[in-house]
Amino acid sequence: MSKLTRSRWFWAWDDEKEEKWLTEMANNGWHLKNVSFPGRYTFEQDAPRNMSYRLDFFTDRKRREDYLQIFADAGWEHVAQYGSWQYFRKEAGPGEEPEIFTDNESKVKKYQRVIAILVPLTPIWIIMINRLNRRPEIFFQAVTFIGFLIMLFYIYTMLMMLRRVSRLKRK
Amino acid sequence: MGNNINKYLPLTESTAYILLALNEPLHGYGVMQKVKVISENTVNIGPGTLYGAFSSLEEQGMIVKAGETDRRKMYVVTEKGRQTLDEHVRRLEILVKNRPSRGTS
């Protein structure tokens, strides 16, 4: 069975773009097998199928079994996990597009779960950068700069997620 | 008690149907199937939406665990859940009562 590995970057608020891409790959006979750091997607070749790929963000390890059972009973296969992102797929009949979230409120809650993970990390970064910045050595200055870039990345992600949530709420 | 319940209202259509379906103990898939039938196919609940609703309803004390079958947790509505649903339905009935009648004469 031939395999294919692709590297691609998707922002957390672009999950629908990612779902569409995975669906297109399956339409062309490339079925997702695994996702690993940093955004490496492994596919296996098989007959082209019309699949619906959907992503969820789930962090509650203690209830993972109950969570996956409900998806399995509803006909969704848990294909891969990347961090807290869960990849599901379900075969779609003609003209069908199965969804794991069937109302806006639950879609909003998914993005709020991502934001809830990012929010407490921001003050940690700020404190760390502040401490490191006091050291004059070039090494610490370099680390501070990298830390600063990562913090900007977090803040940008949070703002874009909030924008996504407010757009969904307006629908 | 009334104020206590009002903060949960109005329920989303999915949540209202989940509470309605849980007047008997059911597991997740049982709820999805029952809602489809009793809503005459107007409401379809996906697993992500259902799992999220189960978690928040349990946290709010509107449903409780009622045993297990084949490793699947079953839930049933509590008194608080029933009261909330009753109040939601009462509001909908007021809405229906106010609907202008069309060409009945």
What is the residue-wise DSSP string for A118-148? HTTHHHHHHHHHHHHHT--SHHHHHHHHHHH
Closest CA to B73 of B31, B20, B12, B21: B31
pLDDT exceeds cutoff 60 at B21: yes
Q: What is this structure's pTM?
A: 0.89
- List B residues 56-85 in contact with A (Cβ-Cβ < 8 A): 71-73
Taking the C-alpha atoms of residue B41 and residue B21, their distance in angstroms, rounded to an integer, is 14
Q: Which residues pair with B63 in a beta bridge?
A: B77
Among A68, A69, A89, A168, the strongest candidate for a mutation testing the B interface, having the largest count of B CBs within 10 A, is A69
Instruction: Give alpha helix (H) positions in A28-137.
Output: 64-73, 104-118, 121-133
Residues in chain A whose beta carbon is closer than 8 A to a beta carbon of chain B?
A: 54, 56, 63, 65-67, 69-71, 73-74, 76, 98-103, 105-106, 109-110
Does the beta-carbon distance from B49 to A76 stay under 8 Å? no
Does the beta-carbon distance from B47 to A73 stay under 8 Å? yes
User: Residue A8 burial by CB count (10 A; 0-12/13-18/19+): exposed, middle or buried?
Assistant: exposed
Tens-place pLDDT, residues A43-76: 999 999 999 999 999 999 999 999 999 999 999 9
Tens-place pLDDT, residues B78-97: 999 999 999 999 999 999 99
Taking the C-alpha atoms of residue A163 and residue A13, their distance in angstroms, rounded to an integer, is 9
Contacts with B47 from chain A: Cβ below 8 Å: 70-71, 73-74, 76, 100
**CA A157 to centroid of chain Cα atoms:** 12
